[in-house]
């Protein structure tokens, strides 16, 4: 399974590359919901796509939503930082009188949290002004820009990296926590994949990906980074649109297959599928006459090598 991936987050660059329109309505709705308090994870690089080179009133509105959210986040982090500094000070006062296990534990926890909070605040401040809209790492339940075709038009829309079928309620996410990936051999076996395969196809641009690999020699789990020798991987995805429950959800999953030899050598059993660039339109435009045999498209892959290292 694809544990996480570094993906292209610059929606304007994606728009130019694929001749697609950035669906600003979708992004505005997403950023509005995040500002209202909905738990949504979007990368700083995706935010940065809307913080510079603003050309339309809607782009400026999206930028204001992001900036307001950043201000609120910073305020909350700073409030929590003050409380943790007070916690640390109280623990250190106790330690001056008498070292106890509880006081030492409080000191350790407060110190760790202070360092984490300071890093978050620093990152938020940097992202507000300097982050460039490039690639950013996503994990399950994070949002990423997906290339799709809707009513004959190429669009860039934000989708959550963990697919929830349109027939299922929010509880599905907890019950089936692995649906951020689609095993190719399950496309014709699992009901929710069968319903959308051949219909709802998207594309994610990936620059490298990460997998959990258990090392039997050290008896430890490692996260391995796999970097292709090419600049980008064009990764096929399935997506769905869910209106079950309180809010609508647009989500996707990455297609995986048997391991690439370089990935297998590093100890992992799956690899995300990567398409030939000239097959992209046939994959995403499922109503095209040329898009008849999707299995053939998934088999027609460029020859790629992967370098690996412990992340």
Sorted by where each begins, the domain ranges of the chain are 4-25+133-310, 64-129
The pLDDT score that the predictor gives to residue 289 is 63
Residue 23: pLDDT over 80 = yes
Confidence of residue 245 (pLDDT cuts 50, 70, 90): low
Contact of 268 with 224, CB cutoff 8 Å: yes
Give me the torsion for CA of 214, 219, 221, 226, rounded to 10°.
-50
- The CATH number assigned to the domain with range 64-129 reads 1.20.58
The Cα 259–Cα 272 span in angstroms is 8
E strand residue ranges, the chain: 4-8, 21-22, 135-138, 143-150, 153-161, 181-183, 201-215, 220-228, 233-242, 249-257, 271-272, 306-310
Q: Do domains 4-25+133-310 and 64-129 have the same CATH topology?
A: no
Cα–Cα nearest to 231, from 271, 277, 266: 277
Confidence of residue 131 (pLDDT cuts 50, 70, 90): low
Identify the residue with better confidence: 22 or 3: 22
The whole-chain average pLDDT of the chain stands at: 91
The Cα 184–Cα 265 span in angstroms is 21
Residue 196: pLDDT over 80 = yes
**Cross-strand pairs, 1:** none
Average of per-residue pLDDT across 17-26: 97
Confidence of residue 248 (pLDDT cuts 50, 70, 90): confident
Architecture per CATH, 4-25+133-310:
Alpha-Beta Complex (3.90)
Element (H, E) at 3: none
Identify the residue with better confidence: 126 or 286: 286
The pLDDT score that the predictor gives to residue 53 is 83
Q: Tens digits of per-residue pLDDT, 150-184?
A: 999 999 999 999 999 999 998 999 999 899 999 99
115-149 per-residue burial string, b: 16 or more CB within 10 A, e: under 16: eebeebbeebeebbeebebebbbbebebbbbbbbb
Beta-carbon-side half-sphere exposure of residue 16 (alpha carbons within 13 Å): 5
Average of per-residue pLDDT across 9-25: 96
Percentage, residues of the chain above pLDDT 70: 95
Residue 127: pLDDT over 70 = no
Cα–Cα nearest to 88, from 112, 113, 115, 107: 107
Cα–Cα nearest to 242, from 142, 144, 172, 151: 172
Confidence of residue 52 (pLDDT cuts 50, 70, 90): confident
The Cα 265–Cα 13 span in angstroms is 34
Confidence of residue 286 (pLDDT cuts 50, 70, 90): very high
* Largest Cα span, the chain: 80
Contact of 284 with 152, CB cutoff 8 Å: no
C-beta contacts of 286-290 below 8 A and 24+ residues apart? 286/149, 286/198, 286/199, 286/200, 286/201, 287/149, 287/152
**69-73, 136-140, 267-271: segment of lowest average pLDDT:** 267-271
Confidence of residue 291 (pLDDT cuts 50, 70, 90): low
The Cα 26–Cα 163 span in angstroms is 17
Residue 71: pLDDT over 70 = yes
């Amino acid at each position: 399974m694809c544990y996480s991936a570094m993906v292209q987050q610059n929606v304007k660059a994606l728009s130019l590359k694929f001749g697609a329109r950035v669906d600003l309505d979708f992004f505005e709705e997403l950023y509005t919901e995040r500002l209202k308090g909905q738990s949504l994870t979007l990368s700083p690089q995706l935010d940065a796509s809307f913080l510079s080179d603003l050309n339309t009133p809607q782009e400026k509105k999206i930028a204001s939503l992001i900036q307001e959210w950043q201000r609120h986040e910073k305020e909350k982090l700073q409030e929590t930082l003050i409380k943790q500094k007070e916690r640390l000070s109280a623990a250190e006062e106790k330690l001056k009188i008498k070292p106890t296990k509880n006081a030492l534990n409080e000191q350790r926890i407060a110190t760790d949290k202070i360092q984490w909070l300071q890093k978050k605040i620093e990152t938020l401040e940097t992202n507000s002004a300097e982050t460039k809209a490039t690639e950013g790492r996503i994990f399950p339940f994070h949002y990423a820009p997906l290339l799709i075709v809707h009513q004959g038009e190429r669009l860039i829309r934000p989708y959550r990296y963990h697919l929830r079928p349109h027939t299922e309620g929010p509880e599905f996410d907890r019950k089936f926590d692995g649906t951020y990936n689609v095993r190719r051999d399950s496309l014709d076996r699992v009901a929710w994949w069968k319903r959308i395969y051949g219909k709802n196809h998207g594309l994610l641009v990936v620059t490298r990906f990460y997998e959990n690999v258990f090392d039997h020699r050290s008896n430890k789990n490692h996260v391995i980074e796999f970097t292709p020798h090419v600049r980008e991987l064009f990764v096929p995805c399935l997506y769905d649109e869910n209106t079950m429950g309180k809010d609508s959800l647009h989500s996707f999953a990455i297609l995986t297959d048997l391991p690439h030899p370089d990935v297998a050598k590093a100890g992992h059993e799956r690899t995300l599928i990567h398409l030939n660039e000239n097959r992209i339109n046939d994959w995403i435009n499922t109503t095209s006459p040329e898009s008849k045999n999707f299995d053939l498209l998934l088999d027609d892959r460029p020859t790629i090598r992967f370098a690996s290292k412990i992340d």
